[in-house]
């Protein structure tokens, strides 16, 4: 836990960096927290160090790593904001303020406190998305050391992690972090089931490795003949995703077959499609298993081709195909922006476009006044399952699974939503609460004198739609009841 170890890790990806600021942040945080200890008995600074170390794994810039070292100084020490700002400047101060909980305010409920802290953090994230990266790293280390807290506290933190932090990590495309947060939450909430599943996975690991290596060797021999540049990586599902599949399908572990998988990484999009054709020509694909997330990316920027095939030995294996750039985005998510910006002038030209959904989403959440509703909407809107629905002109819209035709109207444009009076799906008239499915062609019917009604709030599923409807009702003096 030395400054030298942190510095070495940072210099590995920014070799010519001036390290004075990082050294100053290290010493300042260590001194500020010198009298504090954690529930484990360790020095409190060990937590600050660990959060910075996690962000170094994602190759974040120096101000973010400094803010990680200092993230609890304003919340837990006598250092004032003014003094902090003088020492470290506006950029690092704003990052630390973004992750600092609201203090000196009496909340009437746990929901209210949780909602207001999330609202504050999300507003700071709208200005600088690095705020949420620090908060996710902070939560990850807290989850890794959860065993030192009371059982009740463990359960509460694990629940918030599973329903808010893990989905947010997924929404930002940081899959490795999301998977670890899920597994640690699963372990805290269901220790017996976690231990049982972990033991079963370990017991079959040798067999699984053998099956995977056999398939990989067979796959490599087939693909090598194509001359297309590629590399093949083995992939295993995290424990929680296997557990969730067991629950949803009501099947024992032994019957969950797609926990084996490989990734094929190549150089171009055209070669992704060429390679998936080769995979299908040599291995029988399972019907309905092919999904194209390259043509239709997920909301979190994720792109890949997915297919599930049967090996020569009869084993079922999921295959994902992507380019090197898609793989980087999958590994680092939104953090990839800073990784590849380091040492270069200017911003990623597409970065604002990539996080525009986050800013819009935060704007919609501001209209919610009830803390419980704010948290419920937050949880609902972070669910990443989506369906792809077409307009009559052939344009495709990705909307959350469970969305209604009224949600689709607001997804096209707020004015379309406000003047919607009906919908036609696949050339048949349907109600406004009709739930859309992937592949549906939805035509929204509008008229000038149609306007939102109070009962529309209960029809829609997304925060965006609910926010627009409520705004209209308020502006026109209408009550929801």
pLDDT of residue 356: 66
Catalytic, out of 75, 111, 112, 113: 75
pLDDT of residue 343: 45
Kindly give the interhelix angle for 356-365 and 463-475, rounded to the nearest 10 degrees: 40
**Token pair 């309905």 is at which residue?**
288
Q: How far, CA to CA in Å, does 101 sit from each of 157, 233, 443, 446?
A: 15, 41, 45, 45
pLDDT of residue 375: 75
Q: Which tokens in the block code for residue 480?
A: 């929801």
pLDDT of residue 368: 66
pLDDT of residue 351: 61
CATH number among 3.40.1160.10, 3.40.190.10, 3.10.20.30, 3.30.565.10, domain 385-475: 3.10.20.30
List average pLDDT for each run of 10 residues in the chain, which is 481 residues long: 92 92 96 93 95 94 96 93 95 92 61 77 78 93 94 92 87 86 95 93 82 88 91 84 88 75 94 96 91 84 90 88 89 68 49 64 68 72 74 83 92 91 94 92 93 92 83 84 64
pLDDT of residue 344: 47
Domain spans of the chain, in order of start: 197-332, 385-475
Distance between CA 89 and CA 227 in Å, rounded?
Answer: 53
Same fold, 197-332 and 385-475: no
Catalytic, out of 8, 16, 53, 76: 76
- Label each residue of the chain as H, E or C: CCHHHHHHHHHCCCCCCCCHHHHHHHHHHHHHCCCCECCCCCECHHHHHHHHHHHHHCCCCHHHHHHHHCCCHHHHCCCCHHHHHHHHHHHHHHHHHHHCCCCCCCCCCHHHHHHHHHHHHHHHHHHCCHHHHHHHHHHHHHHHCHHHCCHHHHHHHHHHHHHHHHHHHHHCCCHHHHHHHHHHHHHHHCHHHHHHHHHHHHHCHHHHHHHHHHHHHHHHHHHHCCCCCEEEEEEECCHHHHHHHHHHHCCCHHHCCCCEEEEEEECCHHHHHHHHHHHHHHCEECCCCCEECCCCCCCCCCCCEEEEEECCCCCEEEEEEEEHHHHHHHHHHHHHHHHHHCCCCCCCCCHHHHCHHHHHHHHHHCCCCCHHHHHHHHHHHCCCCEEEEECCCCCEEEEECCCEHHHHHHHHCHHHHHCEEEEEECCEEECCCCECCCCCEEEEEECCCCCCCCCHHHHCCCHHHHHHHHHHHHHCCCCCC
Q: Which tokens in the block code for residue 279?
A: 């995979």
Residues 197-332, CATH architecture: 2-Layer Sandwich (3.30)
Residues 6+ apart with CB under 8 A from 210: none
- Confirm whether 75 is a catalytic residue: yes
pLDDT of residue 272: 96
pLDDT of residue 466: 84
pLDDT of residue 311: 87
């Amino acid at each position: 836990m030395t400054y030298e170890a942190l510095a070495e890790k940072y210099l590995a990806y920014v070799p010519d960096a001036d390290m004075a600021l990082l050294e100053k942040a290290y010493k300042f945080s260590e001194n500020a927290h010198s009298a504090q200890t954690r529930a484990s008995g360790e020095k409190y600074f060990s937590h600050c160090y660990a959060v910075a170390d996690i962000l170094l794994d994602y190759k974040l810039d120096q101000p973010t790593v400094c803010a990680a070292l200092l993230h609890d100084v304003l919340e837990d020490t006598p250092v004032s904001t003014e003094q902090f700002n003088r020492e470290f400047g506006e950029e690092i101060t704003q990052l630390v303020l973004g992750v600092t909980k609201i203090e000196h305010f009496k909340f009437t409920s746990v929901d209210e406190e949780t909602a207001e802290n999330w609202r504050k953090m999300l507003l700071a994230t709208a200005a600088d998305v690095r705020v949420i990266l620090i908060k996710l790293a902070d939560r990850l280390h807290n989850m890794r050391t959860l065993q030192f807290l009371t059982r009740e506290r463990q359960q509460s933190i694990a629940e918030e992690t599973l329903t808010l932090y893990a989905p947010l990590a997924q929404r930002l495309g940081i899959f490795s972090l999301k998977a670890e947060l899920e597994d640690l939450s699963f372990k805290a909430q269901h220790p017996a089931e976690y231990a049982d599943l972990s033991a079963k996975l370990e017991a079959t690991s040798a067999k699984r490795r053998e099956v995977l290596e056999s398939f990989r060797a067979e796959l490599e021999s087939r693909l090598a003949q194509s001359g297309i540049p590629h590399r093949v990586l083995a992939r295993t599902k995290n424990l929680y995703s296997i557990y969730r599949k067991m629950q949803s399908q009501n099947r024992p572990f032994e019957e969950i077959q797609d926990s084996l998988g490989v990734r094929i990484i190549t150089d171009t999009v055209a070669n992704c499609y060429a390679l998936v054709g080769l995979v299908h020509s040599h291995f029988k694909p399972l019907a309905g298993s092919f999904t194209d997330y390259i043509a239709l990316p997920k909301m979190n920027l994720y792109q890949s081709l997915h297919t599930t095939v049967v090996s020569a030995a009869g084993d079922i294996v999921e295959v994902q195909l992507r380019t090197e750039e898609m793989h980087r985005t999958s590994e680092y998510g939104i953090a990839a922006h800073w990784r590849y910006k380091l040492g270069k002038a200017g911003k990623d030209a597409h970065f604002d476009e990539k996080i525009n959904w986050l800013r819009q989403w935060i704007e919609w959440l501001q209209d919610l006044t009830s803390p419980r509703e704010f948290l419920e909407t937050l949880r609902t809107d972070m669910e990443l399952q989506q369906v792809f629905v077409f307009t009559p002109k052939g344009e495709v819209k990705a909307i959350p699974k469970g969305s209604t035709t009224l949600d689709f109207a607001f997804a096209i444009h707020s004015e379309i939503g406000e003047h919607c009076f009906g919908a036609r799906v696949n050339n048949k008239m349907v109600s406004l609460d009709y739930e859309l499915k992937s592949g549906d062609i939805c035509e929204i019917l509008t008229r000038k004198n149609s306007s939102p009604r109070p009962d529309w709030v209960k029809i829609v599923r997304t925060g965006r739609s609910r926010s627009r409807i409520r705004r209209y009702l308020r502006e026109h003096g209408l009550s929801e009841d």
